[in-house]
Structure 1
Amino acid sequence: MIAALNQLIDQIEDRLADDVDVAELVAGLGTTEYHVRRMFSSLAGMPLSEYVRRRRMTVAAADVVAGDTLLSVAARYGYGSAEAFGRAFRSVHGVGPAEVRRDGGPLRSQSQLRVRLTVEGNTSMDTRITERPAFRLIGHAARVPLIHEGINPHIQAHITSLPATEHARLTALSNTEPPGLLQVSADVDPDYTEGSELTYLHGVAVDEATPVADDLDTIDLPAGTWAVFRTEGEHPGALQSAWAATATEWFPSNPWQLRPGPSIVAVLDRSDDFSTATCELWLPVERA
């Protein structure tokens, strides 16, 4: 995976003046665009699309300082007008190209990345691989923004808006793994961009034969393989640390890659104030 990411970065560098088609570049790397985007964002701390934008504007800044006309630079990097290029330039550097040409800066350069990963295994990964037949997630869904760290207040508000009787009703419906009440994140931006919207479902897993009431939202999942990571400790810190470690330690060390599908958190046990918890993180995977 690390070699594939570095090859992708090299190919992007060769195509900064073109329309970078990530799907086309990934096709020859022996992996999938979905997996590459998720791993890149986890390791680099930014979406792949944002890295391309920053690198393009970093290289374009050199052309601006060199004295090329703004229109020619805009056309060179695929912008239809000097105004559109100027907006993109300012969004990266904080100043417009005219100021940079006059003053030589300031510039916020994005260096070319090189992924060099030392896998030390310093995060305990209690993991199992399980094959699951097709099953269904049912519950109450809401569109919420993605937040990488800490408690997501939008998800918290969605859960607390449900009456206690509804939690009990859902729990009684659960009849297959993952067990109990579930926290489901679906339709997530492949770049894992913070602030982008996802579908959050508070619900349970049922088998395909289970009838579903009309007032419940449904996510149907095909048969497939899942990697299940068990976490214990501070919540949600331990769970978020384990999620990060899947990218930095587990996936680079194992012959699996993410496939499209929701991530699922099953809370197996928790303290009364939910400050600590034992959870299972379910991720859909396939052989790399």
Structure 2
Amino acid sequence: MTPHNASGPSRWSDLDRPPLNATALRRGLLHEGGLWTSVDVVQRTGSTNSDLVARAGAAEEGAVLVAEEQTAGRGRLDRRWTAPPRSGLFFSVLLRPAEVPLERWGWLPLLTGVAVATGLSRAAGVDTALKWPNDLLVTVGGEERKAGGILAERAGEDGVVVGVGLNVTLRADELPVPQAGSLELADAVSTDRDTLLRSVLRSLETWYDRWRAAGGDPVTSTLQETYAAGCATLGRQVRAELPGDRALVGEAVAIDGDGRLVVATAEGTREAVGAGDIVHLRPA
């Protein structure tokens, strides 16, 4: 049982969930010529994305904002994302990819997915799959579960804030929905959030630098093929819930050069989906 004090739960009461070490994170991530320029850890906020978008005008590229608890975290379509304090990684980064044409900025959430999956594979020993466009999946008891999500938002004329929410130590009785998962439930070899965050941000820096150096070209940077290789949506029967109450059912066959999901229908047509909710249909 979690001990309580007179004024409610103590922030030190859950010893399995130590606080992040901001000093050690800065020491490990901030270096001359590197992407990351500041790392701030706050105890509690509504949404790290909203906070960083609001301060983007005065912030340098590479600002990182991490929250121990998010009370109004948002996913796509304004879905809420909540979790107990210190049970996950909830962070946002400010990017200004001036070298990349605007029409290629749509790759940023997919790039972040690749970077997070790569970083978690190294640091947590967990095979993380990507559900197009921005969900992070882990396997729990032989079943695919959503353990995280990514949200990118414009910040002024020249910036993008990319936010990541990831369930790390959520236990089965704490899951917001039965279909959710966490690194702990997926038998991660490590759930040390300092280690995981450093690994993910280093991976993100590597991928972002590579993509930026290629002018955002998804082929030259190998982003397109790497995303496709780790995408659990490809080869599946899917239903795409499209804007205007339209649905498209078919096989997800490719990720195109704009990062869109190409769906082949039973009627023999192919349609590239740029926005929408994707449901993985179970095999018949």
Q: How would you bin the TM-score normalised by the shorter chain?
A: under 0.3
Q: Which has the higher strand share?
A: 2
Larger Rg: 1
TM-score normalised by L of structure 1: 0.27
Higher relative contact order (CA 8 A, sep 6+): 1
TM-score normalised by L of structure 2: 0.28
